[in-house]
Amino acid sequence: CRACAGQAGPLRTCERYRVRRRPFGIPGAEDEAFLQRVMPGRVLSGEEEVKPFNVDWLKSVRGCSQLVVKPQTTAEVSQVLRYCHERNLAVTPQGGNTGLVGGSVPVFDEIILSTALMNRIISFDKVSGILVCQAGCVLERLNEYVEEQGFIMPLDLGAKGSCHIGGNVATNAGGLRLLRYGSLRGTVLGLEVVLADGSVLDCLASLRKDNTGYDLKQLFIGSEGTLGVITAVSILCPQKPKAVNVAFLGCQSFTKVLETFTTCRAMLGEILSAYEFMDEKCMELVERHLKLSSPVTGSSPFYVLIETSGSNSTHDEEKLNNFLEQATASGLVTNGTVATDDKKIKASHLRERITEALTHDGYVYKYDISLPVGKLYDLVTDMRARLGQSAKNVVGYGHLGDGNLHLNITADSYSQSLLEAIEPFVYEWTARCSGSISAEHGLGFKKRHFIQYSKPSEAVALMQRFKAMLDPKGILNPYKTLPESS
């Protein structure tokens, strides 16, 4: 991390996050030679070649790995893990490296196992909509492929141009379509996973119903690469909607945002596919740093993005227009616009660009919280009051339809005193409301020690027992997701 970047020699401790290197083997020339024999030309060891894999997307944490391996097949992943298990070498699985909690980069000198070359589509059933693919397939490419067949991927993320489906599954990523199609725990039908000792668990089912024993794939969905390396995914894709409408609206208060959601859900029903909100600070940052203009005239304290997806454009437009008339007449919405063609839809989706805009505003403290919908914005208000002038900006946006708040705090540079003012206050506040400290980003490296704010000690202990059973040497993505066993 930035606090430890000046340490000379191999890192043994990380001061900022108070973690000590475990007694794993240190990868050397002998290990590189073996891996080169397994994957000729697909092992990176030069400092400049390895550097991009050592740093997370936010550039807030970095590791000191000396080796990156790029397998193409499950058999090669199996060989790598079997060897690392025997040699007690730690491994960090890495997909598109778009995570926001430091889960996809090494902490010390772990070998990085990149799935970038595992990008083959294995099969697609045009009748059932079931896609089977390798874990390294980029989400946007998959969506383009299934769209040609009349389907779409059940998830949509701002990082879709670079994130991998295996990483999406490993973190149980949510995104913009969760309100309509649910989480990956419901749409993923099967997985192929390589365990820590190199054994392959083939649960790559293409059945929507299978009640034979425990549903083992659920162990690996959201496990963040700590229990096994996902190498292939079977996923159910919904049919591509024939009619998509987007409305971008302004509201005068968060209470109005909530009331608009209630009215929207009642009037749009089955065609409602997304309900996103952002505050005016988010809009200011997007306009200032990315030069994107607001789709609506005038300014509002809050903005709402509504998406509908259906099979009949006339029917959907009529329902949307009726809703907008009702929302405007009742004073819920003060201004807004509707876009139905693809170009305008993409322009209206500036909600996806907020994360990018924040990175231009300075150092970002990011929090991904689930809360009861009625309390969603109270945390932002309380955090602004708590931090005062010590923070540059405190903004809130997210998936209101499923109670997911993205709280972001920016400052000119990293400050330990500011971090201490934010944490653990943000987690204590969330716990008092029976919320979750991670709605969709996972715990990764940065938040593993705060899991007790969302899970009872008995649940954490059981997770640690699963980890010990499946990865007894602890070589898979160490220092991530779970606190140290006592």
Per the prediction, the chain carries an average pLDDT of 91
Residue 6 domain-assigned (yes or no): no
Note the pTM of the prediction, 2 decimals.
0.91
The answer to whether residue 451 sits within a structural domain is no
Beta strands in 102-261 (DSSP E): 111-114, 121-125, 130-134, 188-194, 200-203, 229-236, 243-251
Are residues 379 and 264 both part of a single domain? yes
Task: Looking at the structure, tell me whether residues 385 and 329 fall in a common domain.
Answer: yes
Nearby residues of 103 by Cβ (< 8 Å), 6 or more positions away? 171, 224, 225, 442, 443, 444, 445, 477, 480, 481
Same domain, 301 and 326: yes
Residues 95 and 224 in one domain: no
Has residue 299 been placed in a domain?
yes
Q: Is residue 464 part of a domain?
A: no
Is 378 a residue whose pLDDT tops 60?
yes
Is residue 76 one of the residues assigned to a domain? Answer: yes
Is there a domain that residue 291 lies in? yes
* pLDDT at residue number 223: 97
| pLDDT surpassing 50 at residue 6 | no
Of 433, 462, 477, at which residue does a domain stop? Answer: 433
The domain boundary residue, chosen from 62, 87, 114 = 114
Same domain, 103 and 132: no
In the chain, the N- to C-terminal Cα span, in Å, equals 25
Which of 62, 79, 114 is the C-terminal boundary of a domain? 114
**Coil/strand/helix, residue 178:** helix
Check residue 326 and give left, alpha or beta (phi > 0: left; psi -120 to 50: alpha).
alpha
Report the DSSP pairing between strands 111-114 and 68-69. parallel
pLDDT of residue 342: 56
pLDDT at 139: 97
Is residue 453 included in any domain, yes or no? no
Same domain for 255 and 392? yes
CA 285, 288, 289: angle at the middle one, nearest 5?
Answer: 80
CATH number where 61 lies:
3.30.43.10
Stretch 395-408: mean pLDDT: 93
Residues 109 and 148 placed together within one structural domain of the fold: no
Q: What value does the mean pLDDT take over residues 287-300?
A: 84
How far from chain centre, in Å, is Cα 152?
19
The reply to whether 202 and 261 lie within a common domain is no
Enclosing domain of residue 265: 243-433
In this predicted model, which residue has the larger pLDDT, 207 or 89? Answer: 89
Count CB-CB contacts under 10 A for residue 127: 5
pLDDT of residue 345: 58
Q: Tell whether 8 is covered by a domain.
A: no
Cα gap 45→350, rounded to integer Å: 39
Euclidean distance between CA atoms 476 and 470, whole angstroms: 10
Judged on CB neighbours under 10 Å (0-12, 13-18, 19+), 111 is buried
Which domain CATH number covers 428?
3.30.70.2190
CA-CA distance, 397 to 278, in Å (whole number)? Answer: 4
Asked whether the beta carbons of 206 and 190 are under 8 A apart, the reply is yes
Cβ density class 184-221: b for 16+ within 10 Å, e for less: beebbbbbbbbbbbbeebebbbbeeeeeeeeeebebbb
Which of 436-460 are b and which e, b meaning 16 or more Cβ less than 10 Å from the residue's Cβ? bbbbbbbbbbbbbbbbebbeeeeeb
* Residue indicated by tokens 């139905």: 340
Residue 16 pLDDT: 56
The token duo for 466 is 């699963």
- Residues listed for the chain: 486
What is the CATH number for 158? 3.30.465.10
**Domains contained in the chain, number:** 3
Tokens (6 digits) for 352: 């996806």
pLDDT category of residue 258 using cuts at 50, 70 and 90:
very high
Quick one: 248 and 394 in the same domain? yes
Looking at residue 306, what is its pLDDT? 92
Query: Beta strand 121-125 with 111-114: parallel, antiparallel or unpaired?
Result: unpaired
The Cα–Cα gap between 441 and 118 comes to: 23
Asked if residue 404 and residue 350 are part of one domain, the reply reads yes
Going from the C-alpha of 119 to that of each of 21, 138, 453, the distances in angstroms are 33, 7, 37
**Which has the minimum average pLDDT: 80-94, 130-144, 169-183, 339-353?**
339-353
Q: pLDDT above 90 covers what percent of the chain?
A: 78
Helix axes 74-87, 29-38, angle to 10 degrees: 160
- Structure-token pair, residue 105: 């980069």
Are residue 153 and residue 216 in the same domain, yes or no?
yes
pLDDT band at 344 (very low <50, low <70, confident <90, very high): low
* 133/259 same-domain check: no
Lowest-pLDDT choice from 120-134, 148-162, 285-299: 285-299
DSSP character at residue 252: S
